Homo-oligomer: A and B are copies of this chain.
Amino acid sequence: MSLPASRFTAALRIASRRYPAQRGAPTPRPHLGREHVRCFSGSPRWQIRTKEMNDDLMKDLKVNQARLMEDIHYTCQWGTGERWGEKPTETGMARLALSDADKAARDWFVEATEALGCKVTVDAMGNIFAVRPGLRNDKPPTFVGSHLDTQPSGGRYDGILGVTAGVEMLRVFADNWTETEYPVGLVNWTNEEGARFPMSMVASGVWAGSIPIEAAHSLREVHPGTETMKSELQRIGYLGSTPASYESMPMAAHFELHIEQGPLLEMANKKIGVVTGVQAYKWLTVKVKGRDTHTGTTDLKSRADALLTASKMILHSHRLATANCALASTGILNLKPGSTNTVPGEVTFSLDIRAPKDETVDKMKDSILRDFPKIAAGEDVEGSNHGCTSGLSLEVEIVEDFDSPATNFHADCITAVRQSAKSILGPNQSMEMTSGAGHDSVYASKRCPTSMIFVPCREGVSHNPREFCKEQDCASGAQVLLQSVVRFDRMRDERRVSWKQEPYTL
């Protein structure tokens, strides 16, 4: 592609220069002043305008796979985790939110996006918004975003892929002198994992108005428990002055690229998941109370065995999930007193129930509230007592800790992703799916049109050092992300023309 030089060329050349090798120390980047940052808004019409692109021209906006991978692995120098293979990049990640490692990754994000001509805003939750001007900068940007924090034994792709793909999108636009009708943004959301400060997606939740900022600021780190979210935001210099709110930082849309974190794409041999929504889920805590007794001296009839009863309940929750095409999982179980020769008198366990529809999750919960007390009382529920000795009656308490209703993503965003996947990979390489896990897109979707793009990860493994996504799949996902933004930008313009007004204005 050959285009006339312009006064922006110098800046763009700097922005598109190759980054230093991943294992080297971070190299200072030239800082771009305000005059450069605003340069796009007044750019003349000879830039490539997205509204003038046909499918072929869109394909020319090509993600650089090697550069994307280099960004991923370069930024993984901050908070490198457990090694699982021999290659330099075969380690996990341990980059807890607002740690020194997270600060380093954030600084990289700010420098990289400012170098690409973006205006960077940090809000009171430490969310970082980088906005690349379009032609109509009086309107909210079309955003892409994800998170740079990881689980304590997390991987290199969860969250990181989504953010680096956003940076790659900005690089491709810069390289190709692309001019969008509306501004385009990239957001890094704070503490998505909820691993250090125990509330997942808390910062997008505050932005959406779903979580009060005071509650978020006062969240105390899980370990060692001395710092709060606010004190750590302050310490690393990311307590911004802009209110954390969709009103201060409106979005016209939010697209998020993410590894699937499950096995469905791999099993179906598809490259792209067109995510139509996020399934509903509830977290319950179940406490079973029986009686501590000696394992040797207490016959089966005289027991109130809390663990045997909990085992029946866990098995029954799995049967209910099977019957309802839902999910039921117990990830935490604690018992008392914990001695080989004492029948446990108390067991507490978590129960995570999920389904694409709220009604299914509600039905699961109703069944649990109906059946668990019966199981505790010793009644047979669908064969739960088959072959058992009936013992003494136990008590059960069930508390709902967390409720996340089903999220349905926006048809326009879903369409943009579906068309992009088909255009880039052909007709049979994508499938529609719901996300099993929560993401910042859940809160984003409360305030703007949203959807997500999934790429396969090896064996569905995530939140684990061995988490892995093939380079080609990372690049395909980033390509679909980029094109979805372009398509959405064009759609906004078409709608404006046909409707004679701006769609998606908050």
Contact = CB atoms under 8 A, between A and B. Distances in A.
A262 B302 contact: yes
B311 A296 contact: no
Given A319-B387, A340-B332, A296 B354 contact: yes
B327 A292 contact: no
Nearest to A343: B329
A393 to B, nearest CB: 14
Contacts of A305: 329
A260 interface: yes
A173 to B, nearest CB: 31
Contacts of A298: 262-263, 327, 436, 460
Interface stretch (A36-44, A82-90, A461-469): A461-469
Interface string A277-293: 00101010000000111
Contact of A302 (B267, B310, B337, B340): B267
Interface in A247-288: 260-264, 267, 279, 281, 283
A406 interface: no
A331 B354 contact: no
Interface in A220-256: none
Given A327-B299, A436-B298, A340 B308 contact: no
Given A261-B297, A299-B262, A331 B319 contact: no
A307 interface: yes
Contacts of A436: 294-298
Contacts of A296: 261-262, 279, 281, 327, 352, 354, 435-438
Contact of A350 (B279, B329, B340, B437): B340
Contacts of A386: 319, 382-383, 386
Contacts of A261: 294, 296-297
A438 B321 CA distance: 43
B337 A153 contact: yes
Interface in A324-374: 327, 329-333, 335, 337-344, 350, 352, 354
Interface in A439-488: 460-464
A388 interface: yes
B297 A435 contact: yes
A358 to B, nearest CB: 15
Given A332-B338, A333-B307, A297 B438 contact: no
Contact of A319 (B322, B340, B388): B388
Contacts of A338: 331-332
A389 B321 CA distance: 9
Of A267, A319, A387, A436, the most chain B CB neighbours within 10 A belong to A387
Contacts of A410: none
Nearest to A284: B340
A57 interface: no
Given A296-B436, A340-B283, A330 B352 contact: no
A300 interface: yes
B464 A292 contact: yes
A405 to B, nearest CB: 14
Contacts of A463: 292, 294, 342
A318 interface: yes
Contacts of A329: 295, 305, 341, 343
Nearest to A151: B339
Contacts of A387: 319, 322-323, 382-383
A342 to B, nearest CB: 5
A322 B437 contact: no
A337 B332 CA distance: 8
Contacts of A310: 311
A426 to B, nearest CB: 25
Given A322-B389, A461-B291, A262 B383 contact: no
Interface of A: 153, 260-264, 267, 279, 281, 283, 291-300, 302, 305, 307-308, 310-312, 314-315, 318-319, 321-323, 327, 329-333, 335, 337-344, 350, 352, 354, 382-383, 386-389, 435-438, 460-464
Given A340-B352, A341-B437, 20 more contacts: A153-B337, A262-B294, A264-B299, A279-B296, A292-B461, A292-B464, A294-B460, A294-B463, A295-B331, A296-B352, A297-B435, A300-B321, A305-B329, A311-B311, A322-B387, A331-B339, A331-B341, A331-B343, A332-B335, A340-B350
11 contacts: A262-B296, A263-B302, A292-B463, A295-B352, A296-B327, A297-B462, A298-B460, A307-B333, A322-B389, A330-B344, A383-B386
